[in-house]
Amino acid sequence: MDRLPLILASSSQRRIDILSSLGWKYECISPDIDETPWEGEIADQLVVRLSIGKAQVVADSNPGCIIIAADSVVEVDGRVYGKPNSPSEAEAMLKEIRGTDHRIHSGITVINSATGNIRSHCVTTKVHARNYTDVEIRQSIDRGTPFDKAGGYAIQDSCLNPVKILEGCYSGSLGLPVCKLIEIMVDMGQDIQNTNFVQDSACKPFCVYARGNK
Spatial separation of the C-alpha atoms in residues 98 and 128, rounded to whole Å: 9
Please say whether the beta carbons of 160 and 38 come within 8 A: no
Element (H, E) at 200: helix 199-203
* Cα Rg of the chain, angstroms: 17
Q: How far is CA 106 from the centre of its chain?
A: 5
| Catalytic site includes residue 71 | yes
Which residue in 71, 134, 148, 191 is the catalytic one? 71
The DSSP H or E segment spanning 21 is helix 13-21
Q: Which DSSP category does 37 fall into?
A: P
Q: Which residues are catalytic?
A: 71
